[in-house]
Amino acid sequence: MTYQNTLAFATQLDEQDPLKDFQSKFLVPKHKGKDVIYFCGNSLGLQPAIAQQYVSGIFNNWKELGIEGFFAGGDPWLGYHKQLTQTLSGIVGAKSEEVTVMNSLTVNLHLLMVSFYKPTQKRFKILMEGGAFPSDQYALASQARFHGYDPKEAIIEIFPREGEFILRTEDILEAINKHADDLVLVLFGGINYYTGQCFDMEEITKATHKIGAYAGFDLAHAAGNVVLKMHDWGVDFACWCSYKYMNSGPGGISGIFVNEKHFNNKDLNRFAGWWGYREDERFLMTQDFKPEIGAAGWQLSTSPIMLLALHKAALDVFEQAGGIIPLRTKSEQLTAYLEFLINGINQDKNDELFKIITPKNKQDRGCQLSIVCKQNAKATFNYLTENGVIGDWREPNVIRLAPVPLYNSFKQVFEVGRILRASVD
């Protein structure tokens, strides 16, 4: 597509957009009496307009039915989580029995590492991206310590080459092969939170399996953002949050993927809990744990129904939009248009005032662009905020902007470009 830096062009793209009406399905914060331009869905998605209705329905059932709400009413709570797995499986590219919803992201990461981080005296190391989100770093370090290892020895971080911002796939694969004899786990983010780089999860998984290790991914910035194929790529496990691109509320419930090849693997450790017991025998209250078939067997506690209702409200909007494929198509166009406008500012000023450190190739990124501001970085971010643009600031000089296809438009992208240009003028 040949982009143009005009309001008329952006308006035309919006008129042709099959998802243009989905903006009205979300509640937008205000700034000086007007809707903000919300480009911060990579941190917290907007509230679906139907979310309050869904939660009110749960409150009403609780009021009218009490404990019987688990078994009666329009959406009995006992199996409520199953209403979400079909949509989630499409979002992460899995079979429905390979996914479930439970807990929060870092809790799930720990639980999955109970199963898939099985160190031995010879093979005890974990390979991860350097500069991963801190919560992942803390989780992996504490897991290493729990097993009696010094994280400095057990965790291998791989960083971009000097002078570069993104990791080359060839360097990741080389690191896997270099440590083939002592790696037990490769754990990467699907998309790096800081640069917006989408990793080649398929190739990483292939290389990991070739040396006999497990491959897992934190999909916090990937789920609901890019097309994923967890099952087809042979990924062993993954987890994600629901409050970014899946718009399910601050601290919203998390989800996990466990490849079906591990369902009957008795060599895997697993922390057990009430909600992971076989549903058809759960109320027999037997002592010996019998896991539910599939990822649901990793559940622990009774599902938090309010959080599930928020998640369902958001996922139903995904269903109405036709799933991840049409969303991804629009996302690629929105992000490319923002990139075009930013590059245009640099060209007009004969200076790279805004350096985009997110990969240029669309298959290597999601909707987010991470921009290094060469001059007056914090003042530029503040100028965006003062003019009704909600983005995200990262020290020391990076602004992250994420045009989300469900609720952002091409006219909004045009306006952000105009405001950025005004900030340097």
What confidence tens digit (pLDDT) does each residue in 165-210 have? 999 999 999 999 999 999 999 999 999 999 999 999 999 999 999 9
User: Which residue from 397, 404, 409, 334 is spatially nearest to 370, judged by alpha carbons?
Assistant: 397
**pLDDT per residue as tens digits for the range 352-361:** 999 999 999 9
Look at residues 159, 145, 143 and name the one whose alpha carbon lies nearest to residue 109.
143
- Does residue 258 fall inside a structural domain? yes
d(CA 244, CA 198): 16
Within 10 Å of residue 11's Cβ, how many Cβ atoms?
Answer: 14
For 30, the 3-state DSSP assignment is strand
CB 203 within 8 A of CB 174: no
The reply to whether 196 and 316 lie within a common domain is: yes
SS3 at position 307:
helix
> CA 339 to CA 371: how far, in whole Å?
10
Number of domains in the chain: 2
Rounded CA separation 334/345 (Å): 17
Give the model confidence (pLDDT) of 31-76 as tens digits.
999 999 999 999 999 999 999 999 999 999 999 999 999 999 888 9
> Are residues 359 and 225 both part of a single domain?
no
- Residue 180, pLDDT score: 97
**pLDDT confidence of 283, banded at 50, 70, 90?**
confident
Mean pLDDT for 139-164 is 97
User: Please, which pLDDT band fits residue 155 given cuts at 50, 70 and 90?
Assistant: very high
Contact between 365 and 42 under an 8 Å Cβ cutoff? The reply is no
Q: What is the pLDDT at residue 266?
A: 86
* Secondary structure, 3-state, 134-184: HHHHHHHHHHHHHCCCCHHHHEEEECCCCCCCCCCHHHHHHHHHHCCCCEE
164/107 same-domain check: yes
Contact 318, 108 (CB under 8 A): no
Range of the domain at 279: 80-320
Place of tokens 């329009």: 74
Find out whether 136 and 292 touch, Cβ atoms under 8 Å. Answer: no
Omega within 30 of 0 (cis) for the link into 151: no
- Confidence band (pLDDT; 50, 70, 90) for 138? very high
- Which of 258, 288, 320 is where one domain is finished? 320
SS3 353: coil
Give a yes or no: residue 74 inside a domain. no
64 domain-assigned: no
| Cα atoms found within 13 Å of the Cα of residue 363, Cβ hemisphere only | 4
Q: What is the pLDDT of residue 391?
A: 98
Residues 123 and 194 both lie in one domain? yes
Q: What is the CATH number for 200?
A: 3.40.640.10
- Is 231 within a domain? yes
Average pLDDT over residues 88-102: 98
Please check whether residues 223 and 363 belong to one and the same domain. no
Nearest to 298 by CA among 279, 277, 314: 277
Mean pLDDT of the chain: 97
Assess whether 341 and 299 both reside in one domain: no
Q: How confident is the model at residue 322 (pLDDT cuts 50, 70, 90)?
A: very high
What backbone phi and psi angles, to 5 degrees, belong to 424?
A: -95, -20
In a domain, 68, yes or no: no
What are the C-alpha distances in Å from 65 to residues 55, 71, 279? 15, 9, 22
Q: Are residues 112 and 241 in the same domain?
A: yes
pLDDT of 284 strictly over 90: no
Residue 2 within any structural domain of the chain: no
Answer whether residue 282 shows pLDDT above 90: no
Distance CA 111, CA 294 (A): 15
Bridge partners (DSSP) of residue 35 are 30
Q: Minimal CA–CA distance to 129: which of 160, 174, 164, 92? A: 160
CA-to-CA distance for 123 and 283, rounded, in angstroms?
41
Q: Are residues 21 and 149 in the same domain?
A: no
Residue 1 binned pLDDT confidence (cut-offs 50, 70, 90)? confident
Q: What is the CATH number of the domain that holds 331?
A: 3.90.1150.10
- Say what the pLDDT of residue 54 is: 97
- Give the start-end residues of each E strand in 183-225: 183-189, 214-218
Kindly report, residue by residue over 388-416, the tens digit of the pLDDT: 999 999 999 999 999 999 999 999 999 99
**Is there a single domain that holds both residue 313 and residue 351?**
no
Last residue of a domain, one of 261, 288, 320: 320
Bigger pLDDT: 317 or 280? 317
| Domain-embedded: residue 240 | yes
Boundary of a domain, candidates 273, 288, 320: 320
Rg (CA), the chain: 22
Per-residue pLDDT band for 287 (boundaries 50, 70, 90) equals: confident
Judge whether 192 and 369 are in contact, CB under 8 Å: no
* 232 lies in some domain: yes
What sign does the CA torsion over 304, 310, 313, 315 have?
negative
Are residues 234 and 120 both part of a single domain?
Answer: yes
> Per this entry, what is the length of the chain?
425
For residues 139 and 52, what is the distance between their CA atoms, to the nearest angstrom?
Answer: 33
Is the pLDDT confidence value at 285 over 90?
no
pLDDT per residue as tens digits for the range 203-239: 999 999 999 999 999 999 999 999 999 999 999 999 9
Residues 148 and 20 in one domain: no
- Residues 294, 388 share a domain: no
Question: What is the maximum span of the chain, computed from C-alpha positions, in angstroms?
Answer: 73
